[in-house]
A = this chain, B = another copy of it.
Amino acid sequence: MAKTLKVGMIGYRFMGKAHSNGWRQAPHFFPLKANVEMHTICGRNKEALEQSAGELGWSHISTQWKEVINNPEIDVVDINTPNDSHAEIAIAAAKAGKHVLCEKPLAMTVEQCQEMVDAAKAAGVVHMICHNYRRIPAIAHAKKMILEGTIGDIYHYRARYAQDWIVDPDFPLVWRLQKGISGSGAHGDINAHIIDLGRYLVGEFEEVCGMMNTFIKQRPLEDTSGKGDGLGGAGGKVMGDVTVDDAALFIGKFTNGAVANLEATRFALGRKNNIVIEINGSKGSLFFDFEDMNRLKWFDNTAASDRQGFTDILVTQPGGDHPFVGQWWPPGHILGYEHTFVHTLADFVNAVIDGTPVQPTFEDGMRNQRVMEAVEESAVSRQWVKV
């Protein structure tokens, strides 16, 4: 008889919706080693919570996260709260013996991250940071190809994560644009992802040199009257300082000698959630575009010289050819954004049952944070910084 893992999820906004879908769907598509029970959803607003519980498929609600981690019924704690609360909740959960899945970025500082790692290790629980993009099938396939030596030694890692949702100067000063609450802007929100993918696909960063830029330095304060960004006409707006980066760029080196170029921006009109990655090695190259996430482009320099070109691999072949996709649909039936969470949770569930580590661990989260901080330090000192 299969064991049943009971999950408590803290936080229920965008990521809560995506995680809930993952918890619901994973058992229907993957041969999990345990049943999953979506036990408790936790947040501060009871009314909103009740509605979300129904929509997202949770049996119980709680407005106290400590209640959740102390509930002996709960096996797994899934943390989707704002970044500044990750460490406290995760450490407490680990101490309570819960297996912990935590959204990225792991915490606000490397020190916090280290404490989380220590707590998880001391408790012997399974810990994972939810860098879901590692389990885009095309990215997982890229990893496999790199491990197999398909592109040889890596020379270049070039990644850009671009969005455009705050180009309008009238877009209000939401909490994500206030450093006190969010930590940083594009850097922590989206650079974090391509840093993690760099570490996953290429290796550890050795040193970095970056800049962080804020194009729109003041924005209207958010309307707290409930009317959103409708602060109205000239003269009527109360302005506040934007205290985070709109864009963060850095160049760097990996310990294996590869060169890095990363850029995150919220000021690239037309790029909605656009991650573009290119890796060039001694035997070939790989190219990935998240808006076309079911494809991986591969240049094979070992092919006959008159037949070379970027091969556009549609990563939907079942039978083990392409990671994860065999559990879904026949070839050519593409997957979407949310599938990455399903894959992540499926692997997490199995790791919990096996009691084995599952990448990316809290340690990965800490190492990512080190790179993040090195870039921030570099942007201030205007010099290269060792990671």
Contacts and interface: CB of A to CB of B under 8 A. Distances in A.
Interface of A: 14, 18, 20-21, 24-25, 28, 55-57, 141, 151, 155-156, 158, 160, 162-165, 167, 209-211, 213, 215, 246-247, 249-251, 253, 257, 259, 261, 263, 265, 267-274, 278, 280-285, 290-295, 297-301, 303, 305-314, 316-317, 319, 321-322, 328-339, 382-384
Contacts of A384: 382
A29 to B, nearest CB: 8
B273 A278 contact: no
Contacts of A293: 334
A-side interface mostly: mixed
A291 B314 contact: yes
Given A155-B215, A251-B250, A284-B270, A317 B311 contact: no
B274 A269 contact: no
A247 B156 contact: yes
A162 B156 CA distance: 11
Contacts of A328: 338
Contacts of A265: 155-156, 280
Contacts of A209: 209, 211, 251, 382
A350 to B, nearest CB: 17
Nearest to A300: B307
Contacts of A339: 336
Contact of A332 (B55, B163, B307): B163
A283 B311 contact: no
B269 A249 contact: no
A332 B162 CA distance: 10
A287 to B, nearest CB: 8
